[in-house]
Amino acid sequence: MIDAVVFDLDGVVVDTEQVWDEVREQLARERGGRWHDRAQRDMMGMSSTEWSTYMSDVIGLAEPPEEINREVVSRLATRYRRHLPAIPGASEAVARLAARWPLGLASSSNRELIYLVLELLSVKDLFAAMVSSEEVARGKPAPDVYLEAAHRLGVDPAKTAAVEDSHNGILAAKAAGMRVLAIPNSHFPPDEDAVREADAVLGSLAELTAEAVEPR
């Protein structure tokens, strides 16, 4: 029996994984960093503390992680306000599941970006709990953000479904003991070993129905 559903944000509700990639790469090149092909994959799922430290230590930006974090978040917020790349059917899918279950959100995005996205989509009030990985000890693939979301919802993780798109996100939700519904990210697809960990693999948000969450 499923008692709640927890959504990821980037790659599930909004098509923003590549926007994060573009913003961080642009900043790295502007500031003389050493960008490389695996940088986005390495940082996907990291908390803001983790990825900003990565940008400093591995990419080689001279600014302290806190400043890197502020600049990236500021640039992303500006882009979101100008054009939010909502995934088709996102608002409808959220509303569809909110009609049956309490919803949580477990995201690697900074809290201010989470609020901004949900407000722009007019779905903020449909979420009973929102957790950013900057609020927990470890980012994805550690289960911390999902476990905290379940805690705030007051539900057992084993009776919770998670909707994910990325390699680290799928592993995080699975490690939390949740039923995982994967909608693989088309820009940065999860490896097959992560996809195999999912309990169900969907082609799009249109397939995210009550029956998919809790098969009869």
Tell me the pLDDT of the chain averaged across its residues: 96
Question: CATH says 17-82 is which class?
Answer: mainly alpha
According to the model, what pLDDT value does residue 188 have? 87
Question: CA 94 to CA 118: how far, in whole Å?
Answer: 11
Give me the helix-helix angle, 48-57 and 17-30, nearest 10°. Answer: 30
C-beta neighbour count of 87 within 10 angstroms: 17
Domain coordinates in residue numbering, the chain: 4-15+86-213, 17-82
According to the model, what pLDDT value does residue 187 have? 86
Alpha-carbon distances, residue 80 vs 10, 35, 76, 84, 153 (angstroms): 12, 24, 6, 5, 28
Q: What is the pTM of this model?
A: 0.92
Alpha-carbon distances, residue 31 vs 35, 76, 127 (angstroms): 11, 17, 38
What are the tens digits of pLDDT across the range 152-184?
Answer: 999 999 999 999 999 999 999 999 999 999 999
According to the model, what pLDDT value does residue 45 have? 84
Low-confidence ranges of the chain (pLDDT < 70): none
Question: CATH says 4-15+86-213 is which class?
Answer: alpha beta
